[in-house]
Structure 1
Amino acid sequence: MTENHPTMRQPAPDDRDSSAPVRAVTVADVLALPVLTAGEPQVVTGVTHLDRPVRWVHITELTDPASFLKGGELVLTTGMPLPGDAAGVRRYVDELAGVGAAALVIELVRRYHRPPEALVDACQARGLPLITLARDVNFLEVTQVLHALILGNQAEAMRRTQRIHEAFTALTLRGAGPEDVVRAAAEMSGRTVVLENLVHQALICEPSGTTLEEALTGWEQRSRATPSGDRTHQGGPEGWLAAPVEYQGERWGRVAMLPARTTEPAFGPEHITVLERTAMALTVARLIHQAPWERTAHRNALRDLVEQRHRSPEDARARLVALGLPTENSRFLAVVADLPVEDTTANATANPETRLSQELRTAGIPALVGELAPGRLGVLLALSASRPWLPAVERLSSAVLDLAPQAVVSVGSEADDLTDAPRSFHEAARVADATPPDQPLPPGRSFRELSDVGLRCLLYALREDTRIQEYAERQLGRLLDHDTRHGTDLLPTLRHYLEAAGNKTNAARRGGLSRETFYQRLRTIERVLDCDLESGEQRTELHVALTAMDVLRVR
C-alpha cells in the first residue's frame, strides 16, 4: 500500500521572519521549488520524514550510489540502473538509508511509469522518503537551483552566527545582568529559556510562544528527569537543550532551552550557539554582579507579584512554585520591613535579604524575601493551615530589629489564596507608610498591623496631600501667626484644652496656669479663630488640625 500525497507549498525563504534562526533546507522545501513542482512530484513513502534536512543533491544512474554519498543528499535518478530483482532493490534502498540519504526522487518517464512495488516496500520499511516525478525534469537545473539555495542558506547561517556572537559580546561589555542575558537568548532563539540553580529552582524564565505556567509547572520534577552534563547537550524526556553555567570548575547552575511546540526540528546549530553564548554571558554576569541569583530572583518575583504584572494567577503560582515556595494548602502573609539606611550600612557584611532568608530557612518557614524599594524589604510567608502566623512574624520582626533597631515592621492580613497576596502587601505597605518615626510599638508586639493605624497615623500617611496641609493651615494658621507676632503661647493652651477633652480645670493644671489666666487665653483663642470652643464639633476639627500640624512637622 502506497502513501500517495500531493506536495503542499512550503514557505519560501523570503517568507521567513528574518529575526528567526535560519532553518536548514528540508525535503519539503525542495519539493516546493518551481523547478521540481513542474515535474508533478508525489510523495509515495516517508511523508512523516519530509522535515529531513537536505545537505546536497546527487544525480546518479549507478547501482551502488551509496559509496559516493556522505549523508543528507537528495538522490535524483531516472530509475534506469535500478536492479530488476526485489533483493537487489532492497539492497539498493538499504545502502541509501544506511548512509543517511535525505530522500530518493525517481522520474517515471523512461523506464517506469509507476514505482515498482519492491521499491515502495523497501523505502517504506526503511522510512526513506520516495518521491516520484510524473513529468520530465532537468536534473542539472534542479542541482543548480538547490545548490544555490543550500549555499545561500549556509552563508546566512554564518552571518546569523556572527550576529549572535556580536550581540552577546555587546551584552557582556555593557555589564548586562542575568535577566537581560536570558531575555536576549529567548528573543534570538525563539525558544523558552530558563536559568536554574543547583537545586533545580527556576530563577529566571523567559517564555517564547508559551506561558510561564506551561513552561514552569512541575519544573523541579521535570528538571531532575533531565540529566546534567559537562557541556551543551540535548536530553531528558522533553528533549531540553541544556548547558552548565560554571567558572573554573565551580558550577552555579545551568541554562535550559525548551523545544518549541511545532513540527520543526527541536534545535539546530544556531540554537546550540545561542545557548553556549548564553552560558558564557551568564558566567560573566555572575562575576560582575555579586548579588546571588536567588536574591535577585526572589526580589523580581515579589515585585511582579505585588504590582500584579503576571499575565494570569496560574503564571504567578507556577513561578513561585518553581522558586521553591509551596502554594498548595498554604496561607499567605505579607510582611514589610522599612530599614533606615544608616542602620544597614553600618554592617555591610550582613545583607538584610540574605540574613532574613537564612533566619526563615533555619526556622523552617517557607518564604520569599526581596527588596521592594530602596530601604523597604518585602517578605511573603507561606504557612500551612496548622501553623499560626504570630510566632513566625515575631521571629521575623526580632531578626529585623537585630539588624536595624529603628526598623518598622508591618504586617498585612492573611490571604487564603495567592491571588490575595498583593492585597496583603498593600495593607502592610499602608501600615508602614502611616507609621511616624517616633510612634511607639504596641504593647507586647514588635510589629504593627492595620488595627494600629489611628488618626495620627492616618494623617501621617496623608501628610504630603496638599488638602491636609491646607486644612491644618486654615484651622490653625491665624493662631500660629498671633503667637509669632505677640510672643504668646496660645497654641500650647489649645493643645492642653483639647487633650483634656474640654475640661478647663484639668487643662489649666496641665498648662501650669491659674483658672482665670487659662479662661482668658481661651477667650482670646476663640476671638482669633472665630470659633466656639464649647462646640464638640469645632473641638474635633481643631484636634484633627492640631494632629495634622504635628505630623507635618515630623522629619
Structure 2
Amino acid sequence: MQTEWRLTVADVLRRPLFEHADVIAGSRGLARSIRWVHILEAASNAAFLNGGELVLSTGVGFGEDDGKRLAFLQGLIERGAAGLCVELGPYIPEIPESMRELSEHHQFPLIAFRRPVRFVDITLDLHESIVTRQTEALRHLEAYSRELQQLTLQTTGLPRLLTHFQAAVQTQVFLIRQERSPLFVPAMAHSVQNELVALFQKSQQAGELSGQANGILSLSEQKRILYQPINAMGHVLAYLGVILYEQEPNEILLLTLDRTATAVAQLLLRSMFAEEQARDSQNRLLDDILQGRMRHERQLQTLLGIQPQAAPPGYFAVVMEIQAETPQFNEEEGSYYDLLSVFRSIVSCCGFRLYQRAKGERLYMLFVETGTLTGPRMQLQKAVNELTRTCRSALGHAAQVRFGISRRSVRYVEADSHFREAEQVLTLQPKTASSSPFYDDLGVYRLLLQITDEHAIDAFISDYLGPLLQYDEHHGSRLVLTLRTLLDHNGSKQETADQLYIRRQTLYNRLEKIAELIGDTYLEPEHRLCLELALRAHAWQQRVQA
C-alpha cells in the first residue's frame, strides 16, 4: 500500500506523452516520487519549490550560458525536485556534458524531449494521475483502518495485528515492548533481533528516541528504521517499527504506522487491564500486610512470589497521595485499571516489582527489588518522578502528587510498620511539599513521631519556648522565627539578619529580648539542643493542625 499510490519518474516515462523522451543522465534516480508538476524557466524561481516536483523547461531563461544552466540544475537538486525535463530546441539544442555529469553525480533524472511537446498536456495528465493515485491510496488506508478496528474488537493478539500491518507495508516490521519479548514479522534471526533490541535500548537510555512523534534510526547508508512510540497516559509502553530499504518514508506509510500504533496501544491497554483485574488476590494480600495480619516471613515471601534464597530482595513501602478535581481510583471505571497498569510498567522499568492497593486518594505500593540494583534509592526516585509526570499528564497539571517512602528493608513481616513510616512522611509534608519524600531524611522528626503523649510534647514546648510564644502573641513580634533562623545559621548574626531582611541593630534588640525571656544561656550546647527540638516540635504541631 505504501508504494502503489506513488507516481515515480519511471512511471511517467511509460506514459504516451513521454514517447519521444530520453533519459540523458541520472537513471539511478528514476524511483523518485513525483508530488506535482511545475514549469520553471528561471534559476531564481527554484526557491519556490517544496520538493518532489517534476520540472518542465525549455531553457529560455538559462540555456544560453553554461554557468546559468548549472546554477539552474543545482538549484533544483538542492530544493529536492524529482527530476528535470528539457525540451530541446533553440535555447538548448543538446544537453551539455556539464549538466549530464552533475545530474549523474546526484542521481538526478535529466530527461530530454526530442520533439516539441505541450507542457499543458503533460501537466494535466500527470496531475490527474497523481490525484487519482492519492485518492485511491486514501481509500485503501480507510479500509485498512476499518480492518484494524475489527481486529482490535476480536479476541486476537498482537502477532496477528503485526501480520496485518506487514502485509500492508510489505517490509519488515517489529514491536519492542517494555519488559516483554519483542515481536518480528516476518521472523528474523535471533542474533539480528538482539542487535535491534540493543540498539533501541541504547538509544532510549541516551535520550535519542522520541517519546511522542515518529522518528528515524539509521542502521546503514541504505537501511533505516522508522519507529512510532506506543503511548499511554504519557508513558511509552512499546515501539512499533518498520525497516526501510533505500526508501524515504512517505505520507501514506506514516499514516499507516500511526493508525497501527493506535490499535496496538488499545490491545496493550486491554491486556494490562485484564492483568490488573486478575490481581485481586494480590489486593487481599496487601490488605493483610497493611493490617499486620501476616506474621510468618517465609510464608509471606512465598505469597509475594519471592524465591527462597540466602538474601531476600530489599523493598520500600511507598504511599502515593493524589489530589485532583476528578476521583482517581474509582474501581468501577476502566481508567482506574489503566492508570494502575501504567504505574506497574513504569516501576518495572526502574528495576522493581510492584504490589499496589488503592484506598481513597492514597495508593499503597510495595516496591520489591527484582535484582541487584546499583543505588536502589536513586532508581526509586526515578520511578517517583515518572509516576508524578504520568499522573499530571493523565489528570491535569493541577493535580497534587505527594509521596511518602519508608526505609529500605528485607523483613517483609515488618512491612506494615514501614507503611506507617511512609504515612508519617505525608503527615509532615505540607500540602504543596517539595521536600524529600524519604523517611530516612526526616531527622529528629522520626523521634517526635514516636511520642504518642501529646501532653508531654506540649509541656516540652511550653517549658522552652513558652515565654517567646506568649510574647509574640501579645506584641505581634517574631522572636520565635528569629531564634529559629539564628540557630539554623549556626549563630551567625550577619546571615540571620540577611535571611530576615532586617538591620543588625534590629536583630540585636530581638536577641536581647530573647535572652531576657529564656535566659542568656540559649546558645550553650545543652540548652540549644533542647531549643532546637522544641522549635521543630512546634513547627510539626503547626503543620499537623493546618
Q: Tell me the TM-score range normalised by the shorter chain.
A: 0.3 to 0.5
- Could you state the TM-score of these two structures normalised by the residue count of structure 2? 0.46
- Could you state the TM-score of these two structures normalised by the residue count of structure 1? 0.45
